[in-house]
């Protein structure tokens, strides 16, 4: 059992849902002191979502929603924007690179990839790869599930261990 930020978040959320007083707030503070992260139990984070390096430096707005099987790398911020209501909503299987900032009431589609240190201020279509400040679409993934599986360390369907993984051009 790892005491990473996601494990502590899930425990705090479960306790809050069961009506346990005080303990969820103590766990939120433990996340902050152990990992330098702010991950409130009010945020909705889907099953299978991972935090890179245990969640070091991750900041999540309390109104943010994160889909299933996403990856948030270290130093990622999902926050609001001054004077504007709303927080980011991430679809399923979204990967967010280290140091990326997703700000405001934006929607990130399923299978999207956010590049490291990108500043995302607008919606991201499903299967898009965005990068830059401000972020813009740099390409569309041809086969988003296979790209996700490869990046996350799973073999794409149909590829066996005995087959070569690098193809010459």
In this prediction, residue 71 carries a pLDDT of 94
56: part of which helix (H) or strand (E)?
Answer: none
The verdict on pTM exceeding 0.95 is: no
- Asked if residue 167 belongs to a domain, the reply is no
Residue 65: predicted pLDDT: 97
33 is catalytic: no
Give me the pLDDT at residue 8, please. 93
Q: Which of 33, 35, 61, 69 is catalytic?
A: 61
Residues in the chain: 169
Strand partners, 66: 45, 90
Q: In what order do the strands lie in the sheet with 107-108?
A: 44-45, 65-66, 89-90, 107-108
The answer to the question of residue 1 being in a domain is no
Cα separation, 138 vs 160, in Å, equals 30
For position 160, what pLDDT does the model report?
A: 52
- pLDDT at position 122 is 96
Q: Report yes or no on 89 lying in a domain.
A: yes
Domain assignment of residue 7, yes or no: no
CA–CA separation, 164 and 155 (whole Å) = 12
Q: Within a domain: residue 9?
A: no
Q: What is the DSSP string of the chain?
A: ----HHHHHHHHHHHHHTT--SHHHHHHHHHHHHHS-B--TTSEE-TT-EEGGGGTT-EE-TT-EE-TT-EE-TT-EEE-BTTB----EE-TT-EE-TT-EEESS-EE-TT-EE-TT-EE-S-B-TTEEEETTTTEEEEE-SSHHHHHHHHTT-PPTT--TTS-S----
Residue 165 within any structural domain of the chain? no
Q: What pLDDT, on the 0 to 100 scale, is given for residue 1?
A: 53
Domain containing residue 114: CATH number: 2.160.10.10
Per-residue pLDDT of the chain (169 residues; tens, 9 = 90+): 577 899 999 999 999 999 999 999 999 999 999 999 999 999 999 999 999 998 899 999 999 999 999 999 999 999 999 888 999 999 999 999 999 999 999 999 999 999 999 999 999 999 999 999 999 999 999 988 888 888 888 754 555 554 444 443 3
Range of the domain at 120: 39-151
- What is the domain count for the chain? 1
pLDDT of residue 107: 97
């Amino acid at each position: 059992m790892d005491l990473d930020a996601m494990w502590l978040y899930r425990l705090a959320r479960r306790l809050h849902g069961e009506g346990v007083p005080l303990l969820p707030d103590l766990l939120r503070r433990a996340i902050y002191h152990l990992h330098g992260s702010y991950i409130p139990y009010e945020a909705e984070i889907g099953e299978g979502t991972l935090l890179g390096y245990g969640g070091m430096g991750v900041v999540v707005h309390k109104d943010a929603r994160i889909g299933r099987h996403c990856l948030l790398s270290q130093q990622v911020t999902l926050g609001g924007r001054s004077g504007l209501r709303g927080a980011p909503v991430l679809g399923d299987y979204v990967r967010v690179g280290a140091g990326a900032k997703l700000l405001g009431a934006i929607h990130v589609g399923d299978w999207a990839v956010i590049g490291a240190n990108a500043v995302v201020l607008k919606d991201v279509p499903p299967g898009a790869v965005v990068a830059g400040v401000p972020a813009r679409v740099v390409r569309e993934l041809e086969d988003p599930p296979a790209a996700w599986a490869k990046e996350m360390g799973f073999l794409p369907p149909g590829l066996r261990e005995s087959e070569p993984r690098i193809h010459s051009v």
